[in-house]
Structure 1
Amino acid sequence: MATQAPSGHLEELAGRLSREGIYTRLEEPLGKPPILHVLNPQLPAAEEPVIVESTGDEAWFWWAWAERIAPARDLDTAVSGIRRVLGLAA
């Protein structure tokens, strides 16, 4: 069940990505959903925003262009998808 706050899911993902050497920046604007910016450390201009949305009982990580990355409970798949989009080898 998706009971964790969106920022909690993004913080968990940010920690995992940081351990993988991927730069992250969590933005929590007032009155708006949080956004995790993920950056390729070899090419900082390669930055993409990741958001979290709940669909029914499950939270999902999404790209800003409305494409699902992975369920929030599946950090391995999320990290793999983010690495692919940022152009980083698995």
Structure 2
Amino acid sequence: MEINTPPAAESADQLVSRLATMCGRAGLVADIIEPSTKIRINTPNGNEHLAETVTLKPDADDVLTWWWSWDRPICPARDVDCAVTALIRVVAGTRA
């Protein structure tokens, strides 16, 4: 019996993977906690208090969105560059 993964889950997996990859390219450490939904972001040798866990989930309009740990939206999930820029500001304490 073959199990088919719904396209939305595949899309979420790809978005999480892409954010993790782009964070790595920007000099951040990105650990995927849950493949379709959560990533923990920090700087190499960074302060654990400045680490951030972001979640991928739909907003009120059912648009996949990156969310801060305090349940505020960062940006639409497809805008990975925006998410990386915001994460750099928070976990590195700098302007990107």
TM normalised by structure 1 equals 0.79
1 CA distance for matches of 2:16 and 2:70?
A: 17
Per the TM alignment, residue 89 of structure 1 is displaced from its structure 2 partner at its CA by 3.7
Equivalent residue runs for 1:7-22 within 5 Å: 7-22=13-28
- Segments ≥4 residues shifted beyond 6 Å: none
Gaps of 5+ in 1: none
1 CA distance for matches of 2:65 and 2:37?
A: 13
Q: Higher strand proportion, which one?
A: 1
What is the Cα-based RMSD across aligned positions, in Å? 2.2
2 CA distance for matches of 1:26 and 1:69?
A: 18
Task: Give the share of equivalent positions with the same residue, in percent.
Answer: 29
Larger Rg: 2
Residue 36 (structure 1) aligned with residue 39 (structure 2)? yes
TM normalised by structure 2 equals 0.75
Aligned length: 86
